[in-house]
Structure 1
Amino acid sequence: MTVLIITHSQDNESIPLVIQAIEAQGGKAFRFDTDRFPTEVQLDVYYAGSERVTLRVDDQTLDLSEVSAVWYRRIAIGAKIPDSMDKQMRQASIQESRVTIQGMIASIQGFHLDPLPNIRRAENKQLQLQVARKLGLDTPRTLTTNNPKAVKQFAEECQQGMITKMLSSFAIYDEQGLEKVVFTNPISSEDLDNLDGLRFCPMTFQEKIPKALELRTIIVGKRVLTAAVDSQALDKARYDWRKQGIALLDAWEAYTLPQDVEDKLLKLMAEFGLNYGAIDIILTPDGRHIFLEVNPVGEFFWLERCPGLPISQAIAEVLQN
C-alpha cells in the first residue's frame, strides 16, 4: 500500500523528511505536486461497470485504490497554467482543475491526515479561541473589528499595550515582485490616531503578553512535541520570532509542557478532528502558558534539525498505522 502526499513543487524539506521516514519504516510514498496539474500531471477518473482512478506523474503511475493514507500538506492547483491565457478562461480552468482534484481527494478511501473539511474548519482563528477558552486554555484578550472606536476602547483595557495581527495568511508584493510577509506588530499611540483604513479591512488586536519564551508545539496523533525559543534575545523578534527565523534556527530547545496543558491541547485537537497541528504558545515570566493559535498544516521542518524533534517519524508512523 502507498501513502499519497499532496503538496506542490516549491514545498520545503518536510516532504523528503517524511518520505525518508516512511521508506525507513518499510512503506511507500507517492508525491503529487498539485501545481503541475493539469499541465504536467494526468488524472483519469473512470466510472462505468468498474471504477478506476489513476494519477500519472512523469514516468510513475499510481492506482488510487492502492492508497492506504493521504497526507494533505499544500495545494497550488493550476499554478503552471500560462498567464498569457485569457484571464477568464484561465480562471475557469483553475476552478475546474481545483474541483477535479478536490473530488479525487474526497473519494480516496484510505486514512486522511487530515480530512479537508476538518482542516478548513480548524483554520478559523476566532473559533479556535472560542474552543480553547471552553477547554480552559489561557488565551489573550482579543478584538477583531473594523470599528475604530472599539479599538480605542480596547486599547484602554490593555494596560501593557497591544499588538495587531491578521486572521489570514497572506503577503504583499512590491513592484519588483519581492514578498513582504505581514507579521505581528505593536500598536503605537500614533497608530490609534490613524485607524481610518479599518473601513476597508478588519484587523485583529490582542493585548501584549510578556514573554519569557515562545513555544511551538507539534501534535501528531497523540504525541505532543514541543520546542522553545527566547525570541526576546533579538530586538526584531520580540513581537514575532518569524522576523528573525533564520537567526534563531539553532536557538530552539526541547521543552516539556505541563501535563494539564498537554491534555487540554489534545482535547482541542479532538474537538476539530485533527491528527496534526502546529500550535503557538507564549510562556510568560510568571509561568503561564498562553495559547495563541493552531495551524492544522503548520510548518515543523526546522525543529527536526534543532532541537531534533522526531516529527517526520511520528507523521510517518501515523500515516502507516
Structure 2
Amino acid sequence: MLLLVTNQRDITTDFVVLESRRRGIDFFRLNTELLPSMACSFSDRILDDWTLTLDGRTVCGSQVSGAYFRRPGKPRICENIIDDAARRYAESEWASLLKSLYTRLEGRWLNSPTQIVLAEDKPRQLLLAHRLGFDVPAARITNDLQTAQQITEHFNAIAKPLRESLLTGERESVMFTTRLDGLCAADAPALALAPIIVQQEIAKQYDVRVTVVGQRVFAVAIGSQAHAETTVDWRRGSHADLKHELIQLPERLQQQCIELTQSLGLRFGAIDLICDQDDRFWFLEINPNGQWAWLENMTGAPITSAIVDELQGMGRPWT
C-alpha cells in the first residue's frame, strides 16, 4: 500500500491517486487536517504496529510499502472544543502524533520530512552544488551592507529570501527574486533586519526547471524572457502564456542533478537552473518538495508515472 500524506486541496496528489488507480495499486490518502476525525492506535513496542481509521477504511503500518510526503495540512480540531487553551493542547497532541507517524515511516518515504527540512537549507545547497561541479553564480548570505556590496559592486545582482517567500497576515504576498540596483549607506538599516541571499545576476536565455525522480531527469525550459515582468523571476505576474518545452540536458549535468538530489538524502528534487546567452547552465537552488504537476500538464513529461514507479520500488536501494 502507498501512503499519500497531504491535504484535501492538493491537486498534485490527485495525479498520483489517478495513476495509482490506473495501475490497481492500493493506496491511502491521508489528508492530515482530518486526522482528529480518525481513530488511531500506535503500539509502544512494534514500529509497524499502528493504525488509522476513517469512514470504515483502515491503514496499517505493516501494509505501507512506500509513502509520499506532499503538503500535509494542520489538523482541524473538533469545533466542540471551545476553550482556547484546550484547543492549543489538542492541536499540540495531534501534531505530536503526526511527527511520531513520520518517524515510524523512515526508510519508506520518497523524501522523508526530516530530509526535506535539512535539504531546504539554501546555503548548504550552494556549498554542495559547488562541490559537485555546478556553475553557481557568486553569492553572499548576509545582513551586512559591506558584505552585500562585495557582490553588488562587481556584478549586476539580485536578492532573494533565505527560506520564506510567502508573507502571511491579513493579506498574503510573495517575495519574488528582485534585481538590486546598487546599495548605499541608507540601505544598511533595512538590510540589517534579516539575512538575505545577494547573488550575481546571470543574463538569461531561459529558465530551466529540472525534476529528478530517482534516476530519471525531466528538464523543462521556461520562456521567462517573454515579458519584462518575468525576466528576473518567471513566477511574477502568473503569466500562463510562458512557453514550456521539454529539453535534453547535457549528460554530465543530468548526472550532477541526480548526485545533488541523492547527496541531500532525497529521491525527488525540483532544481532551478538558468541557461545563459552562451548556452551555459547555472545552478540556483533545489526545492525538496517542489511542485511538478503543471510541468506534466504543459509538456507531457511523465513525472507522475516516475513518482509512482519510485514509490513502488521503495524496497530497492539507490543505484
TM-score by length of 1: 0.90
Query: How much is the aligned-residue C-alpha RMSD, in angstroms?
Result: 2.4
Deviations 1:4-39 (A, max 9, x none): 00011222x21111111122222111111112232x
Change (3 A) 1:96 1:289: same
Would you say 1:46 and 2:43 are equivalent positions?
yes
Would you say 1:171 and 2:154 are equivalent positions?
no
1:185-264 → structure 2 map (5 Å cutoff): 185-189=178-182, 193-248=186-241, 251-264=243-256
Amino acid of the structure 2 residue aligned with 1:254? L
1:133-172 → structure 2 map (5 Å cutoff): 133-158=130-155, 161-172=156-167
Corresponding residue for 1:180?
A: 173
**Equivalent of 1:70, from 52, 67, 70?**
67
Unaligned runs of 5+ in 1: none
Secondary structure of 1:297's match? coil
Deviations 1:89-146 (A, max 9, x none): 5444333322211111221376211122222221111001101100100111111111
Corresponding residue for 1:24?
A: 22
1:97-136 → structure 2 map (5 Å cutoff): 97-108=94-105, 111-136=108-133
1:271: Cα distance to partner? 1.0
Secondary structure of 1:239's match? coil
Unaligned runs of 5+ in 2: 314-319
Deviations 1:133-188 (A, max 9, x none): 00100111111111122222321121xx11110021342246xx332111111112
Say whether the 8 Å CA contact 1:132–1:139 is kept in structure 2. Answer: yes
Amino acid of the structure 1 residue aligned with 2:13? I
Secondary structure of 1:78's match? coil
Deviations 1:167-215 (A, max 9, x none): 21342246xx332111111112377732312332111111111100100
Say whether the 8 Å CA contact 1:77–1:97 is kept in structure 2. Answer: no
Secondary structure of 2:117's match? helix
Say whether the 8 Å CA contact 2:48–2:61 is kept in structure 1. Answer: no
Change (3 A) 1:310 1:51: closer
Corresponding residue for 2:4?
A: 5
- Matched length: 313
* Same amino acid, percent of matched pairs: 30
Say whether the 8 Å CA contact 2:138–2:151 is kept in structure 1. Answer: no
Change (3 A) 1:215 1:81: farther
Larger mean CA deviation between 133-142 and 14-23 belongs to 14-23
1:263-302 → structure 2 map (5 Å cutoff): 263-302=255-294
Larger mean CA deviation between 164-173 and 108-117 belongs to 108-117
